Amino acid sequence: MDELGRLPGIGPKSAQRIAFHVLAADPIDVKRLAVALQRVKESVRFCEVCFNVAEADRCKVCRDPRRTDEVLCVVEEPKDVVAIERTGEFRGRYHVLGGAINPLEGIGPDHLRIRDLLVRLADGVIKELILATDPNTEGEATATYLALLVKPMGLTVTRLASGLPVGGDLEYADEITLGRAFEGRREM
Amino acid sequence: MDELGRLPGIGPKSAQRIAFHVLAADPIDVKRLAVALQRVKESVRFCEVCFNVAEADRCKVCRDPRRTDEVLCVVEEPKDVVAIERTGEFRGRYHVLGGAINPLEGIGPDHLRIRDLLVRLADGVIKELILATDPNTEGEATATYLALLVKPMGLTVTRLASGLPVGGDLEYADEITLGRAFEGRREM
């Protein structure tokens, strides 16, 4: 129970419930879970190109020959890659920063994989850099920092659109989002 | 209790609670509520220009001489005007349709104030028409219909941006919204 309770999102009650479930479960199932947990630590590492999670030296996206090398999407975490891949809208490559600039928590540009990003941009293959950091304060600050840094290299730098979530109601949007949706309105 | 229970969002329990509250309340407070309710029906009507709620022939927005007549924002309901006014981003005029096209509920273009909209556009003063109907199926259908109808008149027709809500996390955005945010990305 103590070990389970240290996992994120699992409180003492859940830990107890899981522990009793394990006691009653089929030994084969329990073994499979234990092996899976260990194998994650042994076989999953970070891609040497983009720092996404990978089971080889390079991740699936970096190994895919059908994707374009001309568009690079910068995200904060590997889970953002998963979210974007789910949309099926993006056919370029990624660069995972490993977080966002957050002065209050002592995370500056040096703590992120920004130098590796600049190295990737150096050969001029990449034409567009999409800054897909989170639309919150830290993510915006990181995007602004990167844009200033990279603009002189002469590539197109874009940011994901802010606006109304699809399927919603105008009246439920918060003021700032609705304001941005107005600002970013597009010709039909 | 019966009368109170017919209001939206008030079930039998709430109706009972309110009824007993009224019984115990100060007669002056109750009188004030009763007068306010009656006065709403007597004094609030629809603006003769834009069909927003108004306490005179014309609503506050239509009477304001500091707003521009060149930009017109089309919304579904008066409550959308309130939401947009709260952002402080918009300095033009409104046109309230009174709903959205919804074939399943039998609401077609003829049930909305579209003819009145066309009359307002006829004199050529309005340069931009912002279609701020809800970002759901009915709202999108209405915006598409209006865009087709109005485009030949030679004015700019825009739609509010779809994208990520401000302050959120990329990973919590639904796939369609994230896809739209990609599609609508803007140069920094």
Is the Cβ pair A170, B133 closer than 8 Å? yes
From chain A residues 48-87, the ones with a CB under 8 A of any chain B CB are 75-77, 79-80, 82-84, 86-87
Residue of B nearest to A137 (CA): B167
Strands B156-159 and A186-187: antiparallel
Predicted complex ipTM exceeds 0.85: no
Question: What are the CA-CA distances from residue B65 to residues A98, B60, B68, B82, B93 (Å)?
Answer: 52, 10, 8, 19, 11
Residue of A nearest to B184 (CA): A161
pLDDT for position B61: 94
Interface test with A, best of B157, B185, B187 (most A CBs within 10 A): B185
pTM recorded for the entire structure:
0.76
**pLDDT tens digits, residue range A35-46?**
988 888 888 889
**pLDDT tens digits, residue range B53-79?**
998 899 999 999 999 999 999 999 999
Does residue B127 belong to the interface with chain A, where contact is any CB pair within 8 Å? no
**pLDDT tens digits, residue range B150-172?**
989 989 999 999 888 888 888 88
SS3 A184: coil
From chain A residues 29-48, the ones with a CB under 8 A of any chain B CB are none
**pLDDT tens digits, residue range A145-180?**
999 999 899 899 999 998 888 888 888 888 888 888
User: For residues A152 and A146, what is the distance between their CA atoms, to the nearest angstrom?
Assistant: 11
Structure tokens at A51: 């720092």
**pLDDT tens digits, residue range A77-135?**
999 999 999 988 899 999 999 999 998 999 999 999 999 999 999 988 999 999 999 99
Structure tokens at B58: 């014309």
Size of chain A in residues = 188
Interface test with A, best of B160, B172, B175 (most A CBs within 10 A): B160
Is the Cβ pair A178, B84 closer than 8 Å? yes
pLDDT for position A31: 92
pLDDT for position B40: 85
Q: Which residues of A touch B159 (CB under 8 A)?
A: 185-186, 188
pLDDT for position A40: 85
Q: Which residues of A touch B178 (CB under 8 A)?
A: 83-84, 86-87, 89, 160
Domains of chain A are 2-43 (1.10.8.420), 66-159 (3.40.1360.10)
Does residue A6 belong to the interface with chain B, where contact is any CB pair within 8 Å? no
| Helices of type H across chain A | 2-5, 12-24, 27-43, 60-63, 78-87, 114-121, 137-150, 175-183
